[in-house]
Structure 1
Amino acid sequence: MPVPERTEADESGAPDARTAALIRALEAIGTGAYVVDELGRILAVNARAEHLLARPAGDLLGQDAHDLLHGDAHGQPLPRTRCRMRQAFHAGRAAQADDDHFVRGDGTALPISWTITPYDIGGTANGTLVVFDASARAQEAGPSQQPVTGPLPELERLALLAETTTRLTSTLDVEEALRRLVTLVVPRLADWAVIDLITERDEVWRKAVVHAAGDTLVYHEELQGPMPPIPQESPMPLSRALRGAASTLAGPKTYQREPDSGIAVEQRRLFEATGIHSAAIAPIRSAREVLGALTLGRAGHPGDFTSTDLHLLEDITRRAGLALDNARLYQRQRKVAETMQNHLLPQMPRVPGLEMTVRYLPAPDASQVGGDWYDAFPLSDGATALAIGDVVGHDLEAAAGMAQVRNMLRAYAWSQTKPTSRIVERLDEAIRHITDVTMATMILARLEEADDGRWRLSWSNAGHPPPLLISHDGLADYLTDGHGILLGVTAGPRPDATALLPPGSTLVLYTDGLVEELGHTLDEGLMRLRRHAAALAHRPLASFTDQLLRRVRPAGNDDDVALLALRTPSIRP
C-alpha cells in the first residue's frame, strides 16, 4: 500500500523554518517518527507516522503525545504512571520497547516497537525523537497493516542517524561538531572514540581521544596532537581511511607487525594505551575531499565489531563529513569577511587634546558581516572629520559598498570646505550614479577647537541613530538635531546642527547593532545605551568603551557593531 503524501501541519499555512527542518529530517527516516518538545507536545511528524496512526498531521501537531496516542492493548488510555516511554522522556534518556501500543485515529490499538532519544531542535530548545513501527503482532493482523522495515536494532539505527543529522548540522563550529559527534557514538556504540582530521595544510591532527568512564567522557590529551604525514602506499587501516578508502576493522594484532609509517607507530601506541581489543575505522569525507577518519574502539565494551557495524559507521561519518565541511566553509567565509572588514577600517588620527577610541564587533553569522564602518581624518583647514555609517545589506558586497562610500566621503570632505550638510548632499548624489549601494545611513561631523578652548561639533545626520553626549558628571543626552533622511532615498537639502562639547565630556557614535534587539523597540535600546553610558562616564575611555559594548550589545545580536568614542579634555587650569 503506498504511503500518502504528507499533509500540511496546520491551517495557518506553511510551517516555520524550524518545523520545516524537523520535517525534512523525519522524512529521511524509513519508519514512523515524530518529535516532541520539553512538555511532550508534538512539534513535527513524518508521512509514515501519519499513515501508521491513521491521523493527519493537523490532528497530531501541538497535542500531548501521551494523552493522544498511548494506550493499552484494547485502545484504552494508558495511565501516565504505567507509561515506560514517559518515564524515560522525563529522565531525558534514550529508551526502547518492543511490546507497546499506540491508539490509531479509528480508535484501534496498534502494536508497536519504539525507541526514543534526546533530540536537538535548534537554539536553546531540547526535544525528544520518537521512532516507531508496527510490531510483528501487527503484521499478523492482515494485509491492511504495513510490514515492518526491520527489527528493533534497525529502529535504533534510524534514530541514531536522525539524531546525528540534526545535531551535527545545527552547529557551524568545528570544535562543537566534533564534541557532538563523540557524544553520539560513545558509549552507545563503543567505549573509545578517536577523531583524526586533515588540516587545510594537509597535515593530520589527532583532535580527540575520548573514553567513556561510566556516564563521564574523559578526553586523553596525552594521546592527542599532531600526527605523522599520510603514507601514500600503506595498507594499514587508518592510513587507508585517511586516503579515503572504505571502512575497515582492526585490532591490536593489526599494528603488532613492523610499522610501515609514523601513523602506524601512533596507532600501536593508541591500542597499547587504551586496551582496545576491537576497532572500526571509517573515513570522514565531504563531497569534495577527505576530511579525516573516525575510529571506534571497544576495550571494556563486550563483543567485537563486525562488517555489519561498518555500514552504520559509514552512515555516521558521511553525515559528519557534510557537517564538518559546512562548518569549515562557514569559518573560512567568516575569516575572509572579517579580514576584509578589518583592513578596510582605518587607523584613527591623533588629535592633540582629544582622546579617541574605536571598536568593531563582527556579527556572529558570517553572512551578516560587512556593512558597518567608522572613520576619522584631518580636513584641509585643520579641523577633524568624524563619520559613522551603515550600508544597507550584509556580506562582502556590503563591505565593498562601505569602502566605496567611505573613500568618496573622504575625497569630498577634504576638497570642499563647506558645511557637513553640503558634503552629505554631494555624496548622496554620487552614490546613486557611480556605486552599487542602494541605501545607507551615516553621520558626518566636523570637530574643531573654539576660541574659549572648548570643542565645537557640527554634523549632519542621514538617517542614522543619534550621537550620544555624556557629561563628566554623568548627564547623557542624544543629539537629535540635524537629522535627515538616509542616503539613496531622495535628493534634497540636508540639515546641519552644532553643539559645544563640555570639558571632560564623552561623545559616542555607534551603529544600530548596538541598540536594536528583536522583540524590543528602538527606544528601549536607546534608553539602555544612555543609562549604561551615564553610569560609566567616570571610567577611562578604553574601559568605558569596552564595558559599554559588553553591557549594551543585545545577547544573540545578529548584526555587526561599529563604535567611535572621543573624550574632550577637562577644564584647563
Structure 2
Amino acid sequence: MSHSGVGNVSVPGSARSAEVLGVLGVLDAGVCLVDERGTITQVNACAERLLGRGAADLVGWDAHELLHRDRHGRPLARARCQMVEAVLARRAQAGSSWCERGDRSLVELSWFVAPCGGVGGPAGTVLVFTAADQGPDRTHPPHAPESLLVELERLALLAETTTQLTSTLDSDEALRRLVRLVVPKIADWAVIDLITEADEVERVTVVHCEDGAFVAHEDLQGPMPPIPEESPMPLSRALRGAASTLATPHTYQGPPDSGIAIEQKRLFEATGMVSAAIAPIRGLRDVLGALTLGRSADREPLTGADLSLLEDITRRTGLALDNARLYQRQRKVAETMQRHLLPQLPSVPGLQMAARYVPAPDDSQVGGDWYDAFTVADGATALVIGDVVGHDLDAAAGMAQVRSMFRAYAWTHHEPPSAIVHRLDGSMAHLTGVPMATLVFGSLAQTADSAWQLTWTNAGHPPPLLVTHDGQARYLTEGHGLLLSTGLEWTRTDASLLLPPRSTLVLYTDGLVESRDRPIDSGLEQLRKHAASLAHRPLAAFTDLLLERARPTTGSNEDDIAVLTVRTPEIQSAAGGDL
C-alpha cells in the first residue's frame, strides 16, 4: 500500500471513492473508510501516523473495538460511543473521542463523519479526524467541520450518482435512479424533460416525495411545446443548452413568451414549488433535455450552491443517457437482424407448424438461438432447432453461417440426419468462427399408409418433447450425441418414431427450461407437465401458453428462447405409432 496522498484511500470497484477522497487528499487529517458494520476498509497515511498503526494493523478490524477508549484507557461501551451511533444511523456528526495508539498510549481525536454510498450500492462512512490539540476549540476539528461535512455529503452524492447511473443501460431505469438520488435529499420535486430523436420535447417525469413515498403526477407529464429559439426563460434556455438557472413562481408571472413558459407556470401552480433549480442535461454531442429540482415552502429556497451541485449531477446524467441510447440503438439493430435471420415456416399439407423467438431482455437482444423448417429435395420436411454459444452479434452471425451450411447439406445430400450433422460438424471448424453449438435435426416424412415418421439425431441439445392428444408427454432421448465443433471424433446415430395422430412435437432451446435459479431437470419436468395440460389447445395457443408458463418463474428469460412446434393431422392409418 502506498503512503502518499490519497492514493491509500479507495473503495474497490466504485467510482465513489475517487471523487469523495479526491478532495480529502489535500487535508492534513486522518481519513478512514468504514463499512456499514463499522469495519475499517481503507486508511490514509495521516491516519496511520495519528493512530500509530500501519494500514495492515487497521484494515479489517472493527474500528470501535480496536481504537475507542475512555479517558482512562478502558474499553468504551458501544452504547456510550457517539461515533458508533453516528455510523449506524448514517448521519453526519462531529465530536471527539479518546483512541488507543499502536503503542497503547492514548490520543484525543476530534472527528467528523459523513455517510457514503447506499442507494443501491454498498453503504459506508467516511471518518475524518485530527488531534484535538491542533485547534483552539478542543471539542471540534480545526478545519470548519460543518462546511467539510457538507462537501463530503456532496461528493458522496455525486459519486453515488455516477455509480448508479452508469451501472444500467436502460434509460428509463437510469432516470428512476436519478429521482431517488435527489428526492428528497436535495428537493421535494424532480421534473425531467427530454428531447426526443424527432427533436420534440417530452416531459417524462414529474415526481413528488410524500410521506417517504414517490408519487408520479402523470397529469403534468406528456408532450411539451417546441423549444423557442430566443426565449430568456429558464427552461427554454436549459433545453437549448445555454445555462442553468434558479427560478420561482414569480419568474413565470409575466406574459408568457412561449408555450413552454405556459407549461412552466402551470407546473409551479400545480406543485406548489416556491423555488427551483433548472439545468440542461448535455450529452457528448447534443442537449438531451433538462432537469428541474423544486422545493416546497417548508424548506429553505434553493441557492447557487445547489445549482452548482445540480450541474454536476446533470453532467453525469447526460453521460448515462448517451450510453443508454447508444446501447438501445445497437440493440434495436441487433434484434432486427435476428428477426430477419429467422425463417418463414413452410406450408406442408397435413402438418401444422408454429414457431416463437424471445430474446433475452438483459443482453443485446440477439444471440445464437435459431430454428428452421423447410422441404428438402426428396419431399421430406426438415426440422431443426439449434443454439450457437454466445449472446451477441458474433453469435448471431455464427448462427447464420451454421444455418446456411446446414440448409445446403440437407438439400444436396439425401442422407440420414446423423450423416448430415456429421458433415456439418466436420466443416464448422474450417468454415465458421463458431466455437461450439448444439442442435436437433429431424426429418419428417409420410409413409405409404399416410403415417408421419420422424427420424432425428441430437447433437448435445435438450431432447425433443412429444405430446399426444390425450395428454401423455415424454422426451425423445434416443439418438443423443456430442455437441458440435468439439474437434472430437464421434459416431452419430439416428432414432425413428411413427408419430401418433394429433400429436405435437416440441423443439426448444435451453432458455425455456434453465436459469440461474432453476436447474435444467426441474425446468424439463415443468415443460413436460405444462405441455401435457395444453395438449387439446390449438397449436398457436399451445405454443404461446407453453412459452408463457414454462419460462422461469421470474416471468422473464435470462437466455434467448426459440420454440418450434409441429402437429400431425387427425386422420392416420392404424399403423400410427404409440408413445
CA distance in 1, matches of 2:56, 2:18: 13
Match of 2:400 in 1: 403
Output the amino acid matched with 2:112: S
Is 1:98 the counterpart of 2:90? The answer is no
Output the amino acid matched with 1:223: L
Match of 2:496 among 489, 495, 498: 498
Deviations along 1:79-137, whole A, 9 cap, x unmatched?
Answer: 454566777887xx753222265967737564322233661456xxxx42323322684
CA distance in 2, matches of 1:50, 1:475: 72
Match of 1:331 in 2: 328
Match of 1:56 in 2: 55
CA distance in 1, matches of 2:448, 2:368: 38
Output the amino acid matched with 2:508: Y
SS of equivalent to 1:356: strand
Match of 2:27 in 1: none
CA distance in 1, matches of 2:441, 2:117: 53
The answer (yes or no) to whether the contact 1:7–1:56 under 8 Å persists in 2 is no
CA distance in 2, matches of 1:406, 1:346: 10
> Once the 2 structures are TM-superposed, how far is the Cα of residue 352 of structure 1 from its aligned partner?
3.4
> Once the 2 structures are TM-superposed, how far is the Cα of residue 529 of structure 1 from its aligned partner?
3.6
Is 1:132 the counterpart of 2:127? The answer is yes
The answer (yes or no) to whether the contact 1:278–1:304 under 8 Å persists in 2 is yes
Output the amino acid matched with 2:322: D
CA distance in 1, matches of 2:427, 2:403: 12
- Work out the percentage of aligned pairs sharing the same amino acid: 58
CA distance in 2, matches of 1:76, 1:369: 64
Deviations along 1:495-520, whole A, 9 cap, x unmatched?
Answer: 22212223333322111222333376
Match of 2:562 in 1: 562
SS of equivalent to 2:515: coil
Is 1:21 the counterpart of 2:13? The answer is yes
SS of equivalent to 1:469: strand
The answer (yes or no) to whether the contact 1:26–1:46 under 8 Å persists in 2 is no
The answer (yes or no) to whether the contact 1:191–1:300 under 8 Å persists in 2 is no
> Once the 2 structures are TM-superposed, how far is the Cα of residue 458 of structure 1 from its aligned partner?
0.9
Bigger CA radius of gyration: 2
SS of equivalent to 1:443: strand
> Once the 2 structures are TM-superposed, how far is the Cα of residue 296 of structure 1 from its aligned partner?
1.3
Is 1:3 the counterpart of 2:5? The answer is yes
Is 1:423 the counterpart of 2:420? The answer is yes
Change (3 A) 1:35 1:363: farther
Alignment of 1:314-325 (within 5 A): 314-325=311-322
Is 1:442 the counterpart of 2:439? The answer is yes
The answer (yes or no) to whether the contact 1:197–1:205 under 8 Å persists in 2 is yes
CA distance in 1, matches of 2:71, 2:533: 67
Match of 1:514 in 2: 512
Deviations along 1:293-337, whole A, 9 cap, x unmatched?
Answer: 111122324332222222111111122222222222222222222
Match of 1:185 in 2: 182
The answer (yes or no) to whether the contact 2:353–2:567 under 8 Å persists in 1 is yes
The answer (yes or no) to whether the contact 2:116–2:153 under 8 Å persists in 1 is no
Q: Which moved more, 1:274-283 or 1:132-141?
A: 132-141
Deviations along 1:385-433, whole A, 9 cap, x unmatched?
Answer: 1111112223112212212222332233233332222322333344444
SS of equivalent to 2:95: strand
The answer (yes or no) to whether the contact 1:70–1:101 under 8 Å persists in 2 is yes
Match of 1:216 in 2: 213
Alignment of 1:204-243 (within 5 A): 204-243=201-240
SS of equivalent to 1:95: coil
CA distance in 2, matches of 1:383, 1:515: 29
Change (3 A) 1:81 1:41: closer
Alignment of 1:218-297 (within 5 A): 218-297=215-294
CA distance in 2, matches of 1:551, 1:560: 16
Q: Which moved more, 1:246-255 or 1:428-437?
A: 428-437
CA distance in 2, matches of 1:569, 1:391: 32
Deviations along 1:327-377, whole A, 9 cap, x unmatched?
Answer: 222222222222211121122223333332222111123346221101112
Alignment of 1:66-215 (within 5 A): 79-82=77-80, 95-99=91-95, 101=97, 106=102, 110-116=109-115, 119-121=118-120, 127-134=122-129, 137=132, 139-140=134-135, 150-215=147-212
> Once the 2 structures are TM-superposed, how far is the Cα of residue 528 of structure 1 from its aligned partner?
4.5
Change (3 A) 1:183 1:84: farther
TM-score where L is the length of structure 2? 0.83
Question: Structure 2 regions of 5+ residues with no counterpart?
Answer: 25-30, 574-579
RMSD: 3.6
Deviations along 1:6-31, whole A, 9 cap, x unmatched?
Answer: 499xxxxxxxxxx8423x43233124
> Once the 2 structures are TM-superposed, how far is the Cα of residue 78 of structure 1 from its aligned partner?
5.0
Output the amino acid matched with 1:3: G
> Once the 2 structures are TM-superposed, how far is the Cα of residue 49 of structure 1 from its aligned partner?
10
The answer (yes or no) to whether the contact 1:471–1:502 under 8 Å persists in 2 is yes
The answer (yes or no) to whether the contact 2:231–2:258 under 8 Å persists in 1 is yes
CA distance in 1, matches of 2:563, 2:62: 48
Alignment of 1:341-420 (within 5 A): 341-367=338-364, 369-420=366-417
Match of 2:28 in 1: none
Output the amino acid matched with 1:565: T
Match of 1:478 among 475, 481, 484: 475
> Once the 2 structures are TM-superposed, how far is the Cα of residue 568 of structure 1 from its aligned partner?
2.8
Q: Which moved more, 1:75-84 or 1:113-122?
A: 75-84
SS of equivalent to 1:260: coil
Change (3 A) 1:310 1:553: same
Output the amino acid matched with 1:216: A
CA distance in 1, matches of 2:499, 2:101: 74
Output the amino acid matched with 1:210: V
Deviations along 1:156-182, whole A, 9 cap, x unmatched?
Answer: 212222332233233322222212212
> Once the 2 structures are TM-superposed, how far is the Cα of residue 59 of structure 1 from its aligned partner?
5.4
Is 1:549 the counterpart of 2:553? The answer is no
Q: Which moved more, 1:484-493 or 1:68-77?
A: 68-77
Change (3 A) 1:67 1:121: farther
CA distance in 1, matches of 2:268, 2:249: 6
Question: Structure 1 regions of 5+ residues with no counterpart?
Answer: 9-18
The answer (yes or no) to whether the contact 2:86–2:93 under 8 Å persists in 1 is no
SS of equivalent to 2:162: helix
Change (3 A) 1:368 1:179: closer
The answer (yes or no) to whether the contact 2:9–2:43 under 8 Å persists in 1 is no
SS of equivalent to 2:20: coil
The answer (yes or no) to whether the contact 2:331–2:365 under 8 Å persists in 1 is no
Deviations along 1:18-68, whole A, 9 cap, x unmatched?
Answer: x8423x43233124574746xx3759657689758756379545x667666
CA distance in 2, matches of 1:190, 1:2: 38
> Once the 2 structures are TM-superposed, how far is the Cα of residue 440 of structure 1 from its aligned partner?
2.2
The count of residues paired between Structure 1 and Structure 2 equals 551
CA distance in 1, matches of 2:539, 2:72: 74
SS of equivalent to 1:340: helix
CA distance in 2, matches of 1:154, 1:431: 60
Change (3 A) 1:272 1:5: closer
CA distance in 1, matches of 2:101, 2:470: 71
Deviations along 1:260-309, whole A, 9 cap, x unmatched?
Answer: 33222222222233333322111112233221111112232433222222
Output the amino acid matched with 1:195: I
Output the amino acid matched with 1:111: S
Change (3 A) 1:525 1:354: same
CA distance in 2, matches of 1:339, 1:263: 37
